[in-house]
Amino acid sequence: MTLATDTRQSWSQFLEYVKKHCSATAYGNWLSPIKLTEATEDTVTLEVPNIFVKEYLLSNYKKDLCAFFPVDKMGEPSIKFVIAPPVPQKASAPKQPTPDSITPQPTHVPRDYVVDLNPNYIFDNFIEGPSNQFVKSAAWGIAQHPGQSYSPLFIFGGVGLGKTHVLHSVGHHVRKHHPKLKVQCITTEQFINDLVDSLRNKSVDKMKRYYRNEIDVLLIDDIQFLENRLNFEEEISNTIEALINQKKQIIITSDKPPSQLKLSERLTARMEWGLVAHMGVPELETRVAILQYKAQMKGLDIPQNIAFYIAEHIYNNVRQLEGAINKLSAHSRLLNLEITENMVERALREMFQAPHQERISVEQILKSVASVFDVRINDLKGTTRTKEIALPRQVAMYLACKLINESLQMLGASFGKTHSTLLHARKSIEQKIQKDDHLRRRVDMVERNIAASAA
Ligand code: ADP
Ligand code: MG
């Protein structure tokens, strides 16, 4: 392997450059898996895990690639892409019958097994951003050519981030554009229930045959429900294996990556066999785009600054954003109110989240309170009882109780106060901000400052 140092350096410089220009999630999903395998003066070879990564790189960074690397006669970056070989299997797969050796079964679709796809979960309704782009492109690629790229595609990520949405989108797309292919979408719970039923009815062979021989695209939602269900794991493993061996398409969703699921090594290996893709929490801009899209769908007009305001306060998942829109829509219709920051704040107050609890420290709170209330940090820590100091000090204690997940004793200690002083401060501020709008706004401002510095 020859490596011209210059070109190799260009690659690390390019990575440094991209790192500064994209989100950490995007970088982790798209850039880190790329390996520079060869570099000469006039060309580089990049090993990518799959075709989507190549496409992503070329469609987003072509100009930059030209700036960092040699270009060919056409003015294109002179890069050779090779696809990385699949990860070696951990466990050896027992031999499965090839499709040819399987006696064809009459095609009856047992109605019970079919999960309806949610009609709203289609690609067109899915808003893309750096956090979900990787999953979306992988799913889209599969929807175009089922069974020809990655099987299984394993999608993991937290609740309400759009895993089921993407899963069903593939189902819709395949049904529409590949009508000959049989698509089956199932939740893991339901698979288990069906299996229990068919064991009871002694029709388990029929179910097995159906799953293994008559399905072209199997969509399995929420595989984490298989944890600790030893008896069923083997059946699902066999099904997955049989389908993979027949080059059928499987997509699996889960709340954790395969390695963190408490499942057998064999099944874990199967799930890691294809492509494992992470669905991240959407960034602020994406949350705003989702909000505006959902609002528009409901015929609700939300000004840009309000959308930002909401998206800054609701950041864990998309389902909550939808909840916010529904609430706002009801609120504005019922009360016939214009959507202003004030109105939003009132309507959504209890949905707004305390920003990034785990990363906030008492010091941060003191700093932020000091700057908003224009007092000195040392005064807040001191014992002066003048009103100018006592109020912001109570605000700091109130916020510490609200934003830091610690016992009152521990928090009290960091203020040099007893826990009952803290409790008193919390109550007092809670009551005051109910009545005093000016104070509430200042407290909100402190909170937003803290969120911004913790983010
Ligand atoms: P998960 O399966 O990851 O728990 P869902 O797929 O059920 O999440 O998504 C929760 C809700 O959020 C659904 O109504 C879905 O349509 C919506 N949603 C999630 N991500 C997006 C997105 N990127 N664009 C539009 N809607 C989204
Ligand atoms: Mg889901």
Question: What is the DSSP secondary-structure string of 9-74?
Answer: HHHHHHHHHHHHHS-HHHIIIIITT-EEEEE-SS-EEEEESSHHHHHHHHHHHHHHHHHHS-B-TT
Angstrom CA distances, 145 to 49, 119, 211, 273, stand at: 18, 21, 20, 18
In this structure, which residue's CA is closest to atom 26 in ligand 1? 126
Ligand number nearest CA of 155 is: 1
Query: Is residue 250 within 6 Å of ligand 1 at its C-beta?
Result: no
Q: Which atom of ligand 1 is nearest to the CA of 125?
A: 25
Ligand 1 atom having least distance to the Cα of 167:
6
Among the bound ligands, the one closest to the CA of 220? 2
Nearest to 276 by CA among 86, 55, 18: 86
The structure tokens listed for 152 are 């299984």
Please tell us whether the domain made up of 357-454 is placed in CATH 3.40.50.800: no
- CA 162 to centroid of ligand 1, rounded, Å: 3
Residue among 284, 313, 308, 283 nearest 295 (CA)? 308
DSSP reduced 3-state for 184 = strand
Looking at CATH, the fold of the domain delimited by 5-83 is given as GMP Synthetase; Chain A, domain 3 (3.30.300)
Given this model, what pLDDT does residue 359 score?
62
The closest residue, in CA terms, to atom 5 on ligand 1 is 162
Q: So what's the pLDDT on residue 455?
A: 60
Nearest atom of ligand 1 to the alpha carbon of 126: 24
pLDDT number for residue 87: 57
Q: Does domain 284-351 have CATH number 1.10.8.60?
A: yes
| Rounded distance from Cα 253 to ligand 2 centre (Å) | 8
Q: What is the pLDDT along the chain (455 residues), one digit of tens a residue?
A: 445 667 788 888 889 888 888 777 678 777 888 998 888 888 889 998 777 678 778 888 888 888 888 888 888 888 998 887 765 544 444 434 333 333 333 344 444 555 689 999 999 999 999 999 999 999 999 999 999 988 999 999 999 999 999 999 999 999 999 999 999 999 998 888 888 888 888 888 999 999 999 999 999 999 999 998 878 898 899 999 999 999 999 999 999 999 989 999 999 999 998 999 999 999 999 999 999 999 999 889 899 999 999 999 998 899 999 999 999 998 888 888 888 888 898 889 888 875 544 567 888 899 999 999 999 999 998 888 899 999 999 999 999 988 887 777 778 888 888 888 998 999 999 999 999 989 998 999 898 888 777 66
User: How far is Cα 305 from Cα 307, in angstroms, rounded to an integer?
Assistant: 5
Ligand 1 closest atom vs CA 157: 3
Are 78 and 70 in contact by the 8 Å Cβ rule? The answer is yes
Q: Whose CA is nearest to atom 10 of ligand 1?
A: 160
- Domain-wise residue ranges, the chain: 5-83, 106-278, 284-351, 357-454
Which ligand sits closest to the CA of 225?
2
What is the predicted pLDDT for the residue at 112? 52
What per-residue confidence (pLDDT) applies to 4?
A: 61
Most informative mutation of 319, 321, 325 for ligand 1 (most atoms within 8 A of CB): 319
What is the rounded CA–CA span in Å between residue 438 and residue 444? 10
Q: Is the pTM of this model over 0.85?
A: no
Ligand 1 contact via 160 beta carbon (within 6 Å) = yes
Q: What is the CATH number of domain 106-278?
A: 3.40.50.300
pLDDT reported for residue 3 = 54
Picking from 440, 250, 450, the residue whose alpha carbon sits closest to that of residue 341 is 440
The whole-number pLDDT of residue 129 equals: 93
Measured in Å, residue 257 CA sits from the centre of ligand 2 at 15
Whether residue 159 has its Cβ less than 6 Å from ligand 1: yes
Measure 140 CA to ligand 2 centroid, in angstroms: 18
